[in-house]
Amino acid sequence: MPASTTPDALWLNVSPSFQRFDHKLLGCLARYLEISHWAYSQTPDEPSCLDIALTLLHDYIKGHSRPIHLLGHGTGGLLGLLYAPPESPSR
């Protein structure tokens, strides 16, 4: 893979307890594209919503020069859908 400052894809993880299950899949995907891992861990005192995660994800992505494919499973996939709904392909 050529060196790049922006990955082709970004794996979204919001469940630290399931993070270890991602390694095999990410290893397979990394053979075909440059993939990065983004994680968010909610503290026990935070409200049960994804608003903070969406804001942090936006801050991370806006620093890149080209679009990134968002990948995830479960709540990570939901975070990707909430960030980039199908009706707004430019985001």
Residue 27 in domain? yes
Q: What angle do CA 10, 42, 47 make, to 5 degrees?
A: 125
> According to the model, what pLDDT value does residue 6 have?
81
- What is the count of structural domains for the chain? 1
In a domain, 89, yes or no: no
Is 2 among the domain residues?
A: no
Q: What is the pLDDT of residues 8-47, one digit of tens each?
A: 999 999 887 777 788 888 888 889 999 998 999 888 887 7
pTM of the model: 0.80
Planar angle of CA 74, 88, 73, nearest 5 degrees: 10
In a domain, 4, yes or no: no
- Determine, yes or no, domain membership for 88: no
pLDDT at position 1 over 60: no
Domain boundaries, position 66: 9-83
